[in-house]
Amino acid sequence: MRRMIATLTGATAAALIAPALAATAPANAQAAPASVRTAQTDPVSALKRQFKPHRSVKLAENAKIIGEGKANRAIFSRRSGVLEFGTPGVTASDLTEQFSLPGAEQELKNLFGPSRTITVKGNSYTSGGFYGDALPEGKKWLRTKGDSVLLGNPAQKIIDPLEPATLKATLAHTATRRPGGTWDGVRTVVHSGTITLGELYKVSPTVRAVLGAKPSATSATLPVTWKLYLGSDKLVRRAVSSWTQSLRGLSSLDITYLNDSRYSGWGAKSAIKAPPASQVADFGELKFDEEQSEDPFTRVFKD
């Protein structure tokens, strides 16, 4: 059951040289080599320069799952909080999440309570949510090894622009560029295109964790439509993605996943810490009832 339900949870802006400084440079100064100039403006290089201990970026994410079939329902989720960097990339996070199920029975809504998850030093600690009522008395946090036990929402960041390989692979499929408006106080250019689910699975740890297994030959060809809004510093300020999975044959259902993630406050200081040990329980200490024995997403979209 843990494999069905458990899933993920989930940098300083590079300084730009002002044009005025170029005017004061010595007359005999040589321009930087083309390779250096490219590195300064490349989005992947800009992202990697943010991977410094105790620096962070804020995340505000809206996601939606739409079931198109006999059980025509939708699940909305909102996540917000801080993603903290280290030299490998994102090494810690503190995120809250809230689900809403318009039109669903109260019994189903009770399965999707608000939660907060702290991930640090290889462990995740979740308070509330699906497992909240199963915690032993006096305990507030469930500890698991690795990623969080937030409900497995496949709409959460199927394209994770904080993974350098994912960012590179996605931008390689850019079809159009245009002004993207102002986000996080920065004027942006929006790059858009499509990439297949199979291509993302190859490069993205997030996608491999969300899907749980390698997509079938048919699923691997599913197109993921995306938009990435890049500031003049080449850092991502907004990422939008969508894809549709057909379950017809298994059920009379198509499911569309939509995601809109905003990134702000690049480079802020952060020091995420684990909760007090006295308030932490491990998975083996949980006490489940029958309502918690079934994947809640399956229950929502069941015919």
Could you state, in order of their start, the residue ranges of all structural domains in the chain? 2-10+51-298
Half-sphere exposure (Cβ direction) of 200: Cα atoms closer than 13 Å: 31
Q: How many Å apart are CA 124 and CA 185, to the nearest integer?
A: 32
Q: Which residues pair with 114 in a beta bridge?
A: none
What is the average pLDDT across 91-103? 87
Position with higher pLDDT, 129 vs 107: 129
Inter-CA distances, 29 with 25, 33, 108, Å: 7, 12, 68
Q: Tokens standing for 124?
A: 């995740």
Q: Tokens standing for 138?
A: 């006096």
Of 15-24, 91-100, 152-161, 179-188, which one has max mean pLDDT? 179-188
Spelled out in words, what is the top-level CATH class assigned to the domain 2-10+51-298? mainly beta
pLDDT band at 70; cut points 50, 70, 90 = low
Handedness of CA 171, 174, 179, 181 (dihedral sign): negative
Using the predicted structure, report yes or no on whether residue 48 has a pLDDT greater than 60.
yes
pLDDT band at 56; cut points 50, 70, 90 = very high
Task: Report phi then psi at 221, rounded to 5.
Answer: -90, 0
